[in-house]
Every structure is written in C-alpha cells, then in structure tokens.
Amino acid sequence: MKTTWNLRLLYSGLNDPQIELDLGEYERLSRQFSERYASADLAESDILLSALKDFCALLETKGEKPLMFFSYITELDSDNTEASAMLALVSERLTKAGNCLIFFDLALGNIPTERQNEILSDKRFSGYSRFLQCAFDQGKHNLTEAEEKILSLTEGPAYDMWVNGQEKLLSHQTIQWKGGTISLTEAEEMIESLPTRDRRKLHRRVMAHLKKVSDFAEAEINAIYTGKKVDDELRGYKNPYDATLLGDDVDEQTVKAIQASTQQHINISHRFFDLKRRLLGIPHLTYADRGASLGTLAAQKPVPFATGVEIVTKALFEIEPKFAQILVGYLENGQVDVYPKPGKSSGAYCSHSTSCPTFILLNHLPDMGSVITLAHEIGHAIHGELSDSQPALYRGYSMAVAEVASTFFEQVVFYNMLESMSVNEQAIALHDRINQDIQTTYRQIAFFNFELELHQLIRDKGAASKEEIAGLHNKHTSNYLGAKCKMHPDDGFYFVGLSHMRNFFYVYSYAFGCLISRAVYRMYAKDKSMLRKIVGFLSAGDSKAPVEIFKEIGIDIANPEFWDEGYMAISEDIDRLERITKKLGLRRRHPKSPRE
C-alpha cells in the first residue's frame, strides 16, 4: 500500500518529452478544428454533425494531462518553483489552444431559437441533445469571440494567480505548539480531536495567525469578487450565483427551497449543539468546539490509516465488490497521497479527468473523521470511474450531483461500522456523524448566505475590509450554531483559509448532496435492489439533467417538501443519540468548565 502519489503514472519527470508531445497534439487538433469549422454554418445539419464528432475526438486527447501533472506537483510542494513556472507556461498554452475553440460554443449559442428547436427534435442529434441544450442555454450569456478570448487570457492574473498566491502563503504558515512547530494545516486538522482546554488554546493561536496574515486575503477577495461582478454584468447574470447554478443545471428555486428548509429547521441544529454542550459538560460552546468529538466521554482508540482502509474497503465490498477493488487499486498504484506535511495543500479532494488516472489527496489524522473523509473521496472516485462509461461529452458531472455520490458512500461506511460498536463507541460515532451532517448542511448554507451577502456588499460599496468580511462570517455562522455558542470577533478570520468561498457558490452543493444522499441511503437500506438504480445514477455522468437523474431513482428535487425529509432524518439521529447517551448516563454531566 503506497501512501504518496506516484506521479510517474503521468510522466517520468519535469523534462519528460511526452509532455511536449501531448501539448503539441492538443494545440494542433485545436487549430485544425478552428480552421475547419470557424467559418462554417453550424446551423446546417451535416456540418454540425461532423463538427460534433470531431469535437468529441478532441476531448479524447491528453491536452490537460501536462496541466494536471504540474498542478499535482505544486499541490504536494508549493516551494517547487520549477513546477510552478511550468504550470504557468502550460496553463498559458492551453488557454491559447482553448481560445481556438471558443467560437464553437458561441456559434452554437447564436443559432436562431427556431433552428435550435429543430435540431433538438432531429433524431440524428439524439446522442448530442443534452450537450446542445446546455450550449443553447449558455448562449444567452455569451459575449463576442474577441471578448471571450480576452476574458479567458486574463483569468490567470485576475483570478488564478490571486487564489494560488493565497494558498501558497498559507501553506508556508506554521504554529508553535507543545514545544514544537506544526504546519497551519496540521494545526487546523488537529483542533477538534484535542481536549477542551487545548482545543480552544490551539484554535485561538490559529485564528490569531490567520488574522495576522489577512491583509493579502482582503486584497485577494476584493479583487476576485470584483472580477466576478464585472463578468456577471457583461454576461447579463442577475444574481451572483446564477452562473454556478446554470453550470450545474440546477434551478434557482431548488436552491431557494434548500435555503428556506434550512432556516425553517434551524432549531434542529441549535438542539444538536445544545446537546453537544451538555455532553461535553461545559456551560457554553466556542467556535473551536463546533467540530469537537466526544472523546472525553470514552477512550477513543487511534485509527491508523491502514485500519481506516480496512473499514472502508469492507463496507464497499459488501455493497459492491468492484467498488472496493477501485480503492485497493488506487492504493497499490500510488493514487492516494495520505499524510499532511509542510508545503502540501490543505483539506482533501478527488481529482478525476478523462485523460489522467484519478488522484486523491488527503491530510489524514488517526481518527474516525479521517476515515469518513476517505469514504467521501472514494465516493467521488467511484462516481468518476463509472461515469467514464459515458461518451467523452458526458463523462463529467456537476458538483451538486458529485456531492450526492460522495456523501452516499460516507453513509454506507458509517452505518456499516456502527452496529459492530459498543454503546460507548456508538455514542461517539453517532455524535460525529450528526456533527458532520450539520456541517454539510446548515454550515454550508450559512457559508452560501455569507458569500452571497459579501458579493452584494462589495458590489454596493466597491470593497470590503477584512474586519467586515470577518463580521459577516460570524453573523451567518452564529445563525446555525445558536445562542449556546459564543463567537469571538477573531473567529471571523476563518475566512482567510476558507477555500470554498473562492470557488463561487460551490458550497450549496454540499447540502444538496447530503440531503439527497440521505434519502438514497434510506431507500437502499430498505431495499438492497436499489443498488441497480444507484449504479445507474453513478454511471449517468452528465448525460442527463440532475432533476432527471434523481427522478429515475424516485426522488423529486423540484418538490420543496423533499428537502424537509433530509432534515427530519438528521433530527431522528439526534433522537437516537439522546437515547444512547441517556442510557450511558452522559446527558447530565456538568463538570466545571475548563479555563480558557
């Protein structure tokens, strides 16, 4: 079992001649496509069919492989200046090659509406209808080819370099702790597993450090949010989140229904945190305590990575053996980078593309939370592997759909291991599961609302100070944590390292995914034959709109009442936790609060 990425699966090194061959092929085919179709009448059926076939062939090339290679190197080592420079050069070349293709989407969007409808009803285009419908919808917000090329070329300095600069800054930060030095990432990962006094102490140090380096984040956020404002105005988007929802093919009313359901059931979140407070035996919570485990109630054994792999593999095997084989293969091949280290990017993610092997990045700690993170990321990976059965046009999927897959596998792993635990262990595990679901739903919608208000503030005032950004963070965070949690003004500087707010309005997809996956898992638990439909969902890729994919499983996301069911499921788990902890005599523990 390998615990570091084997990037030789892509290239032998920075100077591998295959890198230039792959780049050159993509550049050549992009130019040829442009030369053949840029002046052609794509409204004519035979020409359009030919262009679509050639475009699909272009998608099969390995143009993005060099980009991913250099990106992965910098993800593991932000100090690798040679890889960083190569990444910038490759990005520039791919952007220029991509500019040769800009005309295609624009030309499709400019086909008259009546002719668009004729094309969509023509059986010859049945295999392309989903792609064409999305292109036609997007066409309403397209600019001229010259304008699109300018925006494409300026995306690097207007967005990418700002965000990468912030990530690089944070990757170099260290915290003094217990007589030693740890990375900022490791400190953040460690906080929730510590006893209360140490947890709060380390949290204060992290927040103080984020505040200390917040000047750059203030400039970065104002720059990229202002850039988005300009882009939205040029394209005619009414709301800051419109572009994200159009790209995800999710209706605005669906997201508003999730927001409304979240606020309607905010008492469930408040009830959980009040229960957490009592179980921890403290008079009030702080922001540091929001993710704290109940390890003080019963000894928690460390969970080495190998043990976590056994847990996840067993659960995957029981639902479908080939799912377990995917994880085993990744670990044998070196497609999972496991442990935190200075210079490595924080958090966890799964990177899947059509031209590269899938790579999973973790920052594993020896606890059950990291086991669930592994389940989450392998869920993304399984989704990607099964979606590869689709034609090249449809191998991707929206982030909203992706989060359904990942959180479904979280639940598969969690409930698989829950019944084999002692009552004490069940209390800890169930608490942590609910805590995670609260973070995935209530907290992410709080972030969505925070981001929306921040966009509006910058659009109205022209800029926001770091103190204003921190204040907005605390305002929306307090809403879901409730009155039993005391927020400190410095807690708001959590925004400095909050990567999701740089990925505009992505956060709603976590709540979307969690609430749907809860429904999918409950259906599967009652009827194991549901696996066939689940595999169908995981294999659908982007071949259908999300509302259609979930309707085939038996879920109507267009119904506002559906989202209430997900929150009721969380409430039922809180009921179960209260029964277990009452049985253990833990609910009314009231030791003195640790000094802060």
Query: Which residue reads 């635990």 in tokens?
Result: 421
Which of 381, 281, 375 has the alpha carbon at shortest distance from 329? Answer: 381
The CATH superfamily label for domain 179-298+397-596 reads: Oligoendopeptidase f, C-terminal domain (1.10.1370.20)
Residue 295: predicted pLDDT = 59
Q: What is the pLDDT of residues 265-300, one digit of tens each?
A: 999 999 999 999 999 889 999 999 999 887 545 456
Rounded CA separation 362/338 (Å): 5
- Give the mean pLDDT of 363-376: 90
For residue 457, is pLDDT > 70? yes
Q: How far apart are CA 485 and CA 477, in angstroms?
A: 10
For residue 589, what pLDDT is reported? 43
Spatial separation of the C-alpha atoms in residues 489 and 203, rounded to whole Å: 13
pTM of the model: 0.81
Please give the Cα distance from 590 to 82 (Å, whole number): 56
Q: What pLDDT was estimated at residue 312?
A: 97
Minimal CA–CA distance to 336: which of 356, 365, 359? Answer: 359
Question: What are the C-alpha distances in Å from 108 to residues 115, 140, 242, 340?
Answer: 11, 11, 21, 45
Q: Is 5 left (phi over 0), alpha (psi -120 to 50) or beta?
A: beta
Q: What angle do the packed helices 399-418 and 531-539 form, to 10 degrees?
A: 150
Length of the chain: 596
DSSP string across 192-256:
GGS-HHHHHHHHHHHHHHHHHTHHHHHHHHHHHHHHHHHHHHHHT-SSTTHHHHHHHT--HHHHH
For CATH 1.10.1370.20, list the domain ranges present in the chain: 179-298+397-596
Cα–Cα dist 146/162, whole Å: 24
In this structure, what DSSP letter does residue 414 have? H
Q: Looking at the domain covering 7-162, what would its CATH class be?
A: mainly alpha
Instruction: Give pLDDT tens digits for 285-342.
Output: 999 999 988 754 545 678 899 999 999 999 999 999 999 999 999 999 999 999 998 8
Are the C-beta atoms of 400 and 509 separated by less than 8 Å?
yes
Residue 341: C-alpha distances to residues 186, 207, 360 (Å): 8, 20, 16
Q: Which of 387, 435, 400 is nearest to 414 (CA)?
A: 435
CB 472 within 8 A of CB 450: yes
Beta bridge partners of 353: 356
Quote the CA–CA distance of 225 and 189 in Å, as a whole number. Answer: 28
Return the HEC string of 2-55: CCCCCHHHCCCCCCCHHHHHHHHHHHHHHHHHHHHHCCCCCCCHHHHHHHHHHH
C-alpha distances out from residue 584 to 280, 297, 298, 386, Å: 14, 10, 11, 44
CA–CA–CA angle 19, 25, 26 (5° rounding): 95
Confidence (pLDDT) at 298: 45
Distances (CA, A) of 52 to 5, 33, 120: 36, 10, 14
**Confidence at residue 342, expressed as pLDDT on a 0 to 100 scale:** 87
Q: How far is CA 573 from the centre of its chain?
A: 25
Q: Would you call 293 helix, strand, or coil by DSSP?
A: coil
What percentage of residues in the chain have a pLDDT greater than 70? 97
CATH 1.20.140.70 segments of the chain: 7-162
Q: Rounded to whole angstroms, how far apart are CA atoms 255 and 253?
A: 5
What are 498-512's pLDDT values in tens digits?
Answer: 988 999 999 999 999
Q: What is the pLDDT of residue 444?
A: 97
The mean-pLDDT minimum among 261-265, 277-281, 471-475 falls in 277-281
The residue to which tokens 């990757």 are assigned: 171
Confidence of residue 594 (pLDDT cuts 50, 70, 90): very low
Give the pLDDT of residue 145. Answer: 86
- Residue 400, pLDDT > 60, answer yes
- Bridge partners of 179, per DSSP, are none
pLDDT score, position 175:
93
Share of the chain above pLDDT 90, in %: 76
Bridge partners for 486 per DSSP:
286
Q: Residue 593: what pLDDT?
A: 40
